[in-house]
Amino acid sequence: MSEPTGTPTRPDAPTRDEERPESLTFTLQIISPSIGVTGPLSFPLLPATTTVKQLKAKIRDALPSKPADESQRLIHRGRMLARETEMMLEIFGQETVATYTPSKRKPVLTMLLFSLPTRNPRRYI
């Protein structure tokens, strides 16, 4: 019996997409019940390496009210995304992002917008 030639592959060896997460993109949908958000926001071809902070900047640019990062609350499956350095790949998982196709249901985040309290100037009598 002869053995196959070439480099043996391990079943647990990373695939090309796993080796290069920066090449993974997907469409993210953001829904919000907040006033001033008239419908879902969609971000097609979003890199999987996008961080929460970078996503908040994209949301700010997409909304007329230009909400500050501090007033945006992003939620995934009941968990607030508080770590600004967390990547979409970490949030949704390798399988969800790597196997995304336009015919599949889009990954979704919920966004709540809060008004930042304004300081009242001190009144001198």
pLDDT at 115 (0 to 100): 76
| 12-69 confidence digits (pLDDT tens) | 545 544 546 568 899 999 999 998 898 999 999 999 999 999 999 999 999 999 999 9
Q: Are 113 and 72 in contact (CB under 8 A)?
A: yes
Amino acid occupying residue 122: R
Sign of CA dihedral 74, 42, 106, 35: positive
pLDDT at 96 (0 to 100): 84
The stretch 77-99 carries a mean pLDDT of: 93
- Per-domain boundaries in the chain: 22-113
User: How many angstroms separate the CA atoms of 81 and 71, rounded?
Assistant: 13
Query: How far does CA 53 lie from the centroid of its chain?
Result: 9
User: How many angstroms separate the CA atoms of 72 and 96, rounded?
Assistant: 24
| Answer CATH for 22-113 from 3.40.50.1110, 3.10.20.90, 3.30.450.40, 3.40.30.10 | 3.10.20.90
Query: How far does CA 123 lie from the centroid of its chain?
Result: 44
pLDDT at residue 77 greater than cutoff 50: yes
Beta-carbon count within 10 A of 72 CB: 22
